[in-house]
Structure 1
Amino acid sequence: MSLIFLLVGVLLLNGVDQVRSKAIHTFAGPFIAFAHTIDPCPSDGIAEVFIRPSHFNPIRPFEKQTLQGYMRSSYNVSDDLLAHVDMAIRSNNQWKDNAFVFNFPNSGCTALREHLPDMYRIVAKYTGAPLDKKKPCIIPGGYFDFKNETISWTFPHFPVMPYGRYKFRISARHMSVVKTTTVPHFCVYADCEIIPKPTVDP
């Protein structure tokens, strides 16, 4: 359930020249991230998220998106997951699938809390997961609706990112079953962007 939010932050890459910056015209640098779509993909149904992000207005790049949807899991999310990510790159007006393939063992709650803190804040608000980093990171299972939650797609460990548009598919399984099943417990598909950050907030 939490891995989508981590990788939306860690792996989302995009850039569009709709947002004008007086100082940034490079391949990578300070950025603003936003999501086009976030949709579930086939899994065994143990965990699922459905998120609808609001429209991002490139004329107002500092205006934050809002999220609505639900998250559901029949188990508590800790740090016992293996995440698999297939990324596609947008190039020459087409998607190039499987441009990057990643595996992230022992991923989960702590990764979300450290890498995408504002998304974790929303998750904690509805699930009761601890905000105190001194406490074990566990996201309780259950069904949780959310609506009109403002999100800041900021990633403390990644102040600079390459600009561009990417889409990725992320799936996750418990580490204890990776050798016995190929069916993921969780799967989500995201289309996101990272664009140059203007030097002045209008």
Structure 2
Amino acid sequence: MAKKVYLLLCALAILNISMVSNVNADDKVPVLEGVELNVPSVDSSGMPGVFQDAKFKMTGVGNLWQLQEFNIAQTLKTIEKVEVLKTDAFPVQIFLRISGNLSNGCDEVGQVHVKQVGNSFKVFAYYKNQQQQTGEADYTCTPALVPFSKVIPLSVYGLQAGDYQYSVNEQFSGAFYLPTDNSF
């Protein structure tokens, strides 16, 4: 079973060609440093970006890569509100603003991924916590609620006029309307 997961992650990491956008402010891309390949995120069916910070090392045997480590991201559970923001200028731009309260001072909003399937946008926002940032298991967090807000752009340029739906972490859903084709 572990070998199948390893092979799947390798294939997905190297051939990560999909209609998913990573909307992090620091858009990370895979980086090859010598014999090490660092892949910021790998999609699984239904959950884009769920495998994060994958590290591979070339084995020296043919073109084989060995998976060294990866994280399975947790979806952000503390979203309280999702708002649609629509610009007045043409072509129209659509954004989703997610907001809520993190449960402590260590948690942060991490990677956000958007996948468009037909007239539907599936958004997945994940946690980024202190342990993932530092690799340290022992750390102290403040117990106070920490408000957050993140604006997520949806790729709507070139879409035809019509109704579009969105979902955020499969918990929030809504719709927006494009009155005209959204391209010059």
How does the TM-score come out when normalised to structure 2? Answer: 0.23
Determine which structure has more spread, i.e. the larger CA radius of gyration. 2
Which structure has greater helix proportion? 1
- The structure with the greater share of residues assigned to strand is 2
